[in-house]
Chains A and B, each alone.
Chain A
Amino acid sequence: SQQGEEDPQALSIQEGENATMNCSYKTSINNLQWYRQNSGRGLVHLILIRSNEREKHSGRLRVTLDTSKKSSSLLITASRAADTASYFCATALPSGAGSYQLTFGKGTKLSVIP
Protein backbone atom coordinates (compact mmCIF):
# COMPACT_ATOMS: atom_id res chain seq x y z
CA SER A 1 0.00 0.00 0.00
CA GLN A 2 1.14 3.57 -0.66
CA GLN A 3 2.82 5.20 2.31
CA GLY A 4 2.74 8.76 1.00
CA GLU A 5 -0.16 10.24 -0.91
CA GLU A 6 0.03 13.65 -2.52
CA ASP A 7 -2.95 15.92 -2.91
CA PRO A 8 -4.08 17.24 -5.31
CA GLN A 9 -3.09 14.91 -8.14
CA ALA A 10 -2.97 17.89 -10.51
CA LEU A 11 -2.80 21.63 -9.98
CA SER A 12 -2.95 24.43 -12.50
CA ILE A 13 -2.15 28.02 -11.53
CA GLN A 14 -1.16 31.34 -13.08
CA GLU A 15 2.41 32.54 -12.99
CA GLY A 16 3.02 34.59 -9.85
CA GLU A 17 0.51 32.69 -7.73
CA ASN A 18 1.46 30.40 -4.88
CA ALA A 19 1.18 26.63 -5.21
CA THR A 20 0.48 24.35 -2.26
CA MET A 21 0.79 20.58 -2.38
CA ASN A 22 0.05 18.21 0.47
CA CYS A 23 1.35 14.81 1.45
CA SER A 24 -0.18 12.41 3.94
CA TYR A 25 1.46 9.26 5.24
CA LYS A 26 0.50 6.35 7.44
CA THR A 27 3.33 5.31 9.76
CA SER A 28 6.05 7.01 11.80
CA ILE A 29 8.92 8.34 9.73
CA ASN A 30 12.53 9.38 10.21
CA ASN A 31 12.26 12.17 7.67
CA LEU A 32 10.19 13.34 4.74
CA GLN A 33 11.62 14.56 1.46
CA TRP A 34 10.24 16.43 -1.53
CA TYR A 35 11.45 15.87 -5.07
CA ARG A 36 10.70 17.50 -8.42
CA GLN A 37 10.58 15.72 -11.76
CA ASN A 38 10.52 17.58 -15.03
CA SER A 39 8.95 15.74 -17.95
CA GLY A 40 11.23 12.99 -19.24
CA ARG A 41 13.89 13.58 -16.59
CA GLY A 42 15.04 12.06 -13.33
CA LEU A 43 13.95 13.26 -9.90
CA VAL A 44 15.71 16.14 -8.23
CA HIS A 45 15.84 16.52 -4.46
CA LEU A 46 14.31 19.72 -3.10
CA ILE A 47 14.09 19.58 0.69
CA LEU A 48 14.50 17.08 3.53
CA ILE A 49 12.65 17.72 6.80
CA ARG A 50 13.34 15.58 9.84
CA SER A 51 10.64 14.23 12.12
CA ASN A 52 11.63 16.65 14.90
CA GLU A 53 11.39 19.69 12.60
CA ARG A 54 8.20 21.60 11.87
CA GLU A 55 9.16 23.93 9.04
CA LYS A 56 11.95 24.40 6.57
CA HIS A 57 12.67 26.95 3.87
CA SER A 58 14.75 26.90 0.72
CA GLY A 59 14.47 29.89 -1.57
CA ARG A 60 10.84 30.09 -2.72
CA LEU A 61 10.04 26.72 -1.16
CA ARG A 62 8.51 26.24 2.27
CA VAL A 63 7.87 22.80 3.73
CA THR A 64 5.91 22.07 6.87
CA LEU A 65 5.60 18.80 8.76
CA ASP A 66 2.89 17.87 11.23
CA THR A 67 3.75 14.48 12.71
CA SER A 68 0.58 14.40 14.83
CA LYS A 69 -1.50 14.55 11.64
CA LYS A 70 1.04 12.59 9.60
CA SER A 71 1.05 15.24 6.92
CA SER A 72 3.36 17.64 5.13
CA SER A 73 2.87 20.52 2.76
CA LEU A 74 5.07 22.07 0.09
CA LEU A 75 4.47 25.71 -0.73
CA ILE A 76 6.03 27.30 -3.80
CA THR A 77 5.70 31.07 -3.67
CA ALA A 78 5.57 33.40 -6.68
CA SER A 79 5.47 30.49 -9.11
CA ARG A 80 7.17 30.61 -12.50
CA ALA A 81 6.54 28.70 -15.70
CA ALA A 82 9.79 26.83 -15.00
CA ASP A 83 8.18 25.35 -11.86
CA THR A 84 5.96 23.24 -14.10
CA ALA A 85 6.79 19.67 -13.09
CA SER A 86 5.61 16.76 -10.99
CA TYR A 87 6.32 16.93 -7.28
CA PHE A 88 6.75 13.87 -5.11
CA CYS A 89 6.95 13.37 -1.38
CA ALA A 90 9.02 10.50 -0.05
CA THR A 91 9.05 9.15 3.49
CA ALA A 92 12.08 7.49 5.09
CA LEU A 93 10.87 4.35 6.83
CA PRO A 94 12.98 1.93 8.87
CA SER A 95 13.71 -1.29 7.01
CA GLY A 96 15.59 -3.12 9.75
CA ALA A 97 19.10 -3.10 11.27
CA GLY A 98 19.25 0.69 11.38
CA SER A 99 18.55 1.05 7.68
CA TYR A 100 15.86 3.06 5.92
CA GLN A 101 14.00 3.00 2.64
CA LEU A 102 12.36 5.88 0.84
CA THR A 103 8.76 5.30 -0.17
CA PHE A 104 7.44 7.67 -2.82
CA GLY A 105 3.93 8.94 -3.42
CA LYS A 106 2.35 9.16 -6.85
CA GLY A 107 3.02 12.85 -7.21
CA THR A 108 1.26 16.14 -7.87
CA LYS A 109 1.46 17.44 -11.42
CA LEU A 110 1.86 21.22 -11.31
CA SER A 111 1.22 23.38 -14.35
CA VAL A 112 2.14 27.06 -14.16
CA ILE A 113 0.52 29.07 -16.92
CA PRO A 114 2.52 32.09 -18.15
Chain B
Amino acid sequence: DAEITQSPRHKITETGRQVTLACHQTWNHNNMFWYRQDLGHGLRLIHYSYGVQDTNKGEVSDGYSVSRSNTEDLPLTLESAASSQTSVYFCASSAGTSGRNEQFFGPGTRLTVL
Protein backbone atom coordinates (compact mmCIF):
# COMPACT_ATOMS: atom_id res chain seq x y z
CA ASP B 1 0.00 0.00 0.00
CA ALA B 2 1.13 3.55 -0.71
CA GLU B 3 2.17 5.56 2.31
CA ILE B 4 3.97 8.63 3.58
CA THR B 5 6.67 8.19 6.20
CA GLN B 6 8.65 10.57 8.35
CA SER B 7 11.91 10.11 10.18
CA PRO B 8 12.97 10.41 12.84
CA ARG B 9 9.73 10.25 14.86
CA HIS B 10 11.36 11.98 17.80
CA LYS B 11 14.40 14.22 17.85
CA ILE B 12 16.12 16.22 20.57
CA THR B 13 18.74 18.71 19.49
CA GLU B 14 20.56 21.74 20.78
CA THR B 15 20.19 25.37 19.84
CA GLY B 16 22.29 26.29 16.82
CA ARG B 17 22.58 22.81 15.33
CA GLN B 18 21.43 21.98 11.83
CA VAL B 19 18.63 19.42 11.74
CA THR B 20 17.07 17.62 8.79
CA LEU B 21 13.70 15.90 8.96
CA ALA B 22 12.95 13.35 6.28
CA CYS B 23 9.67 12.83 4.43
CA HIS B 24 9.14 10.04 1.90
CA GLN B 25 5.95 9.21 0.00
CA THR B 26 5.14 6.32 -2.28
CA TRP B 27 1.88 7.78 -3.64
CA ASN B 28 3.75 9.29 -6.61
CA HIS B 29 2.14 12.62 -5.73
CA ASN B 30 3.34 15.83 -7.33
CA ASN B 31 2.59 17.99 -4.30
CA MET B 32 4.32 17.82 -0.94
CA PHE B 33 3.94 20.02 2.12
CA TRP B 34 5.53 20.63 5.49
CA TYR B 35 3.49 21.91 8.44
CA ARG B 36 4.19 22.57 12.06
CA GLN B 37 1.59 22.07 14.75
CA ASP B 38 1.67 24.02 17.99
CA LEU B 39 -0.89 24.39 20.75
CA GLY B 40 -3.07 27.38 20.08
CA HIS B 41 -1.97 27.73 16.46
CA GLY B 42 -3.27 24.66 14.70
CA LEU B 43 -1.31 23.65 11.58
CA ARG B 44 0.81 26.23 9.83
CA LEU B 45 2.42 25.79 6.44
CA ILE B 46 6.21 25.99 6.34
CA HIS B 47 7.19 25.09 2.75
CA TYR B 48 5.60 23.28 -0.14
CA SER B 49 6.49 21.85 -3.53
CA TYR B 50 4.37 21.22 -6.60
CA GLY B 51 6.97 19.07 -8.34
CA VAL B 52 10.64 18.23 -8.74
CA GLN B 53 12.88 21.30 -8.45
CA ASP B 54 9.90 23.41 -7.32
CA THR B 55 9.81 24.84 -3.78
CA ASN B 56 7.76 27.63 -2.25
CA LYS B 57 7.63 29.43 1.08
CA GLY B 58 4.65 29.09 3.33
CA GLU B 59 3.34 31.15 6.21
CA VAL B 60 6.18 30.37 8.64
CA SER B 61 9.24 29.66 6.47
CA ASP B 62 11.91 31.69 8.30
CA GLY B 63 14.70 29.42 9.55
CA TYR B 64 13.63 26.47 7.37
CA SER B 65 14.58 25.24 3.91
CA VAL B 66 13.53 22.40 1.60
CA SER B 67 14.76 20.88 -1.62
CA ARG B 68 12.95 18.57 -4.06
CA SER B 69 15.32 16.45 -6.12
CA ASN B 70 12.86 13.62 -6.81
CA THR B 71 9.13 12.94 -6.60
CA GLU B 72 9.26 10.85 -3.43
CA ASP B 73 11.21 13.02 -0.98
CA LEU B 74 10.97 16.49 0.54
CA PRO B 75 13.47 16.89 3.39
CA LEU B 76 13.02 19.82 5.75
CA THR B 77 16.18 21.46 7.11
CA LEU B 78 16.42 23.73 10.12
CA GLU B 79 19.55 25.72 9.36
CA SER B 80 20.29 26.72 12.97
CA ALA B 81 17.75 25.27 15.38
CA ALA B 82 16.08 27.64 17.82
CA SER B 83 13.93 26.88 20.86
CA SER B 84 10.99 28.48 19.05
CA GLN B 85 11.19 25.63 16.55
CA THR B 86 10.26 23.06 19.16
CA SER B 87 7.10 21.63 17.65
CA VAL B 88 5.49 18.66 15.96
CA TYR B 89 6.20 18.60 12.24
CA PHE B 90 3.94 16.97 9.69
CA CYS B 91 4.65 16.17 6.08
CA ALA B 92 1.79 15.73 3.63
CA SER B 93 1.30 15.00 -0.04
CA SER B 94 -1.50 15.34 -2.56
CA ALA B 95 -2.25 14.38 -6.14
CA GLY B 96 -2.85 16.72 -9.04
CA THR B 97 -1.05 19.88 -9.94
CA SER B 98 -2.89 22.60 -8.08
CA GLY B 99 -2.59 21.73 -4.40
CA ARG B 100 -6.33 21.84 -3.77
CA ASN B 101 -6.96 18.11 -3.41
CA GLU B 102 -7.11 16.04 -0.25
CA GLN B 103 -3.82 15.70 1.54
CA PHE B 104 -2.31 12.54 2.99
CA PHE B 105 -0.34 13.09 6.17
CA GLY B 106 2.64 11.37 7.70
CA PRO B 107 2.74 10.37 11.37
CA GLY B 108 4.70 13.43 12.44
CA THR B 109 8.10 14.20 13.96
CA ARG B 110 8.27 15.61 17.47
CA LEU B 111 11.26 17.96 17.62
CA THR B 112 12.63 19.41 20.85
CA VAL B 113 15.28 22.12 20.71
CA LEU B 114 17.09 22.63 24.01
Contacts and interface: CB of A to CB of B under 8 A. Distances in A.
Given A41-B108, A42-B90, A101-B58, A106 B40 contact: yes
A92 B56 CA distance: 16
A53 to B, nearest CB: 14
Given A99-B50, A101-B58, A45 B43 contact: no
A43 interface: yes
A33 B102 contact: yes
A61 interface: no
A42 B43 CA distance: 11
A107 B42 contact: yes
Interface in B76-113: 90, 92, 98-108
A45 B103 contact: yes
A95 interface: yes
Interface residues of B, number: 25
B45 interface: yes
B107 A42 contact: yes
B42 A101 contact: no
Interface in B25-69: 33, 35, 40-45, 48, 50, 56, 58
Nearest to B96: A100
Contact of A88 (B43, B92, B106): B43
A48 interface: yes
Interface in A28-50: 30-31, 33, 35, 40-45, 48
A92 B108 CA distance: 22
Interface string A61-88: 0000000000000000000000000001
B105 A98 contact: no
A84 B84 CA distance: 30
Interface of A: 2, 30-31, 33, 35, 40-45, 48, 88, 92, 95, 98-107
Interface of B: 33, 35, 40-45, 48, 50, 56, 58, 90, 92, 98-108
7 contacts: A33-B102, A33-B103, A43-B43, A45-B103, A48-B102, A101-B48, A102-B45
